[in-house]
Structure 1
């Protein structure tokens, strides 16, 4: 009788993972028949990569949106910031306030970021221009110069993108108005400089744009100080020390007497004014002298002219406090203030040839 061949069962590993063999102590034993882990399906891998890429793109878009909106705080090297990117409204810094700010930065670090705008293709290597935060930047620069600590070599900043030069100037002015009040002279000076830079077409729009949140009375006082800035900014050494009462008195005399400005400039240049007190003494004396002269003229009898036969027609007077600023030609801008009897020409087109042509034209009038 033929001997039957005994059949063995199929290997379990062909259909499923083999059960782990255990030693007598219960520890699993490695067997040669253990199946390798099954690979991830290609479609699942593609879906995973696509999801990761989408998440990364979304995160990048969120960061770019935050940076564009000025909500992303970055650390920027102190040497990379151009603090003269805008004409600053602050003329001087109180040393006691600066010392207090430096002590706070040293003890608690920088709590409030500055605002900067990104610059491109600057030959000096500056990458950002300062919009607001000049005091914090100055204080950190002093601290870094004193200590050379690496953590003080950078500053926290919000990189903003102003829609126009007007927005940049308004951001600077509002930041200083909120934190530390400026003098009327400093406010008027930034309005004058913004007007000369062509940011605003006239003085009224400059005051309304830069000080939109100020009261009408405050804007009026700042507008009065504009005449003082235009007349004496080149010669004054301590203009911030001029208080409101003295400033308005100076403006009154400047607009009333066309020769007052020249006389005052002569007194300032000849006088001793190495301190604010010395300069204020010269200014106050000039105002007192002008007021006495005005009273003397009022007390003298005036020659009465005979009445004309016909009715007198009153001619309209130009607004004395309204400055006109227009672009005459490429590179040539004209500024005119009727109350100051002054015409200013500025721009790249102002050269020797233009001066000669103006002289010839004026001589033929």
Structure 2
């Protein structure tokens, strides 16, 4: 069999320039100039499909991250409604706010706030604030006071499952960053209850403070009594110490008339600062405790009337003739037995508050306070109160 000859391709150098230009095929209609003529149409379609799929996947990842609150977005300051939730912070320490403003001014905003997109934007607001009220306030004050203000805030756009989850996010964020007072905790529980977020007080406390100890939650519950009775009149509620607040709450629950009385005293005193307001509260609690203790002491001094037991029947001897039982005269049997009261001492001892005892001796002209509640703060408050009598 004869061998086949291998053919070699024609060398382009064998042709002249004009012949090479004539031999080069023109691109097919519809193809761009940069597309290779030799590329198969199916390969181009596959490439375009893969690029579109990759872009769609990337868009899905970004949308999922945004929905889960994992993507930081810059939002105009004026587009955020800080009243979207009732805020849990009653007052803001000016010194802390100035320190935060200085930090943001020098280093920028390091931690984003949390917002929710409003379904129906109104008043120029497109997002509602959930947590980060202090940072938003600091940025707005910087925008008003600095020559080159920052006009946007870094934010995470979240989607709470419910209004209760939104309130919980706000409370937990403040618990971690700046600890709230018992009064502020009780107040936000009351406000959430009034907004209809929770059906009752117990579920409001469990929903907002379920991660704290049972003892701490009990104290917050006691301060709820304080918020309900005095919130409209108190000017410096966050300054109320824990012991004073618990003592006032105990009296408010024990004596219904104490609430209106305390409201009148607060309005009449018109305190100018926290010290004056605490002095009014301490004085009212001490006076009411003294009244209640005096009532208890007077109740103890009233002698109890013993019940007169009738004499047991006398069984006559067998040999003796039966004789009638001798009963005391009617007048003697009806008269009660009176036990004379013991002579009272010239010194009066009263438990006027938890951990605080008062001893008063009128003849000696002395008043003594003792117990674990006797502190330097109590001494300062007494000095202020005595100087104003």
Q: TM-score, normalised by structure 2?
A: 0.69
* Bigger Cα Rg: 2
Superposition pairs of residues 341-360 of structure 1, within 5 angstroms? none
The equivalent of 1:176 in structure 2 is 174
Does structure 2 conserve the Cα–Cα contact (< 8 Å) formed by 1:82 and 1:128? Answer: yes
> Could you report, residue by residue, the CA deviation over 1:61-85 in whole angstroms, capped at 9, with x for unpaired residues?
1011101111011001110001110
Query: Once structures 1 and 2 are overlaid, which stretch shifts more, 120-129 or 32-41?
Result: 32-41
Task: Please state how far the C-alpha of 1:293 moved relative to its aligned partner.
Answer: 0.7
> How far apart are the structure 1 equivalents of 2:254 and 2:81?
42
The equivalent of 2:158 in structure 1 is 160
Structure 2 gap ranges (5+)? 1-7, 27-34, 308-389
> How far apart are the structure 1 equivalents of 2:11 and 2:266?
101
Residue 262 of structure 2 is aligned to residue 273 of structure 1: no
**Aligned residue pairs: how many?**
288
> How far apart are the structure 2 equivalents of 1:225 and 1:61?
47
The equivalent of 1:42 in structure 2 is 41
Q: TM-score, normalised by structure 1?
A: 0.74
The equivalent of 1:123 in structure 2 is 122
Does structure 2 conserve the Cα–Cα contact (< 8 Å) formed by 1:189 and 1:229? Answer: yes
Task: Please state how far the C-alpha of 1:234 moved relative to its aligned partner.
Answer: 1.2
The equivalent of 2:21 in structure 1 is 32
The equivalent of 1:18 in structure 2 is 12
SS at match of 1:128: strand
Aligned-residue Cα RMSD (Å) equals 2.5
The equivalent of 1:291 in structure 2 is 289
> How far apart are the structure 2 equivalents of 1:70 and 1:186?
27
Residue 280 of structure 2 is aligned to residue 282 of structure 1: yes
1:45–1:253 distance in 2 versus 1, CA, 3 Å: same
> How far apart are the structure 1 equivalents of 2:197 and 2:125?
23
Does structure 2 conserve the Cα–Cα contact (< 8 Å) formed by 1:101 and 1:136? Answer: yes
Task: Please state how far the C-alpha of 1:32 moved relative to its aligned partner.
Answer: 3.5
Residue 66 of structure 2 is aligned to residue 86 of structure 1: no
The equivalent of 1:318 in structure 2 is none
The equivalent of 2:230 in structure 1 is 232
Does structure 1 conserve the Cα–Cα contact (< 8 Å) formed by 2:117 and 2:127? Answer: yes
SS at match of 1:127: strand
Does structure 2 conserve the Cα–Cα contact (< 8 Å) formed by 1:18 and 1:34? Answer: no
> How far apart are the structure 1 equivalents of 2:13 and 2:141?
73
SS at match of 2:74: strand
Does structure 1 conserve the Cα–Cα contact (< 8 Å) formed by 2:121 and 2:127? Answer: no
> Could you report, residue by residue, the CA deviation over 1:109-159 in whole angstroms, capped at 9, with x for unpaired residues?
111111000102233121100101111111111111111535x11011000
Superposition pairs of residues 126-275 of structure 1, within 5 angstroms? 126-150=125-149, 152-275=150-273
SS at match of 2:299: coil
The equivalent of 2:67 in structure 1 is 68
> How far apart are the structure 2 equivalents of 1:260 and 1:54?
72
> How far apart are the structure 1 equivalents of 2:83 and 2:36?
65
The equivalent of 1:51 in structure 2 is 50
Does structure 2 conserve the Cα–Cα contact (< 8 Å) formed by 1:20 and 1:29? Answer: no
SS at match of 1:32: helix
The equivalent of 1:348 in structure 2 is none
> How far apart are the structure 1 equivalents of 2:19 and 2:135?
67
Task: Please state how far the C-alpha of 1:253 moved relative to its aligned partner.
Answer: 1.1
Task: Please state how far the C-alpha of 1:206 moved relative to its aligned partner.
Answer: 1.0
Does structure 1 conserve the Cα–Cα contact (< 8 Å) formed by 2:168 and 2:207? Answer: yes
1:49–1:240 distance in 2 versus 1, CA, 3 Å: same
1:32–1:191 distance in 2 versus 1, CA, 3 Å: same
Task: Please state how far the C-alpha of 1:202 moved relative to its aligned partner.
Answer: 1.3
> How far apart are the structure 2 equivalents of 1:208 and 1:97?
30
> How far apart are the structure 2 equivalents of 1:232 and 1:17?
103
> Could you report, residue by residue, the CA deviation over 1:332-355 in whole angstroms, capped at 9, with x for unpaired residues?
xxxxxxxxxxxxxxxxxxxxxxxx
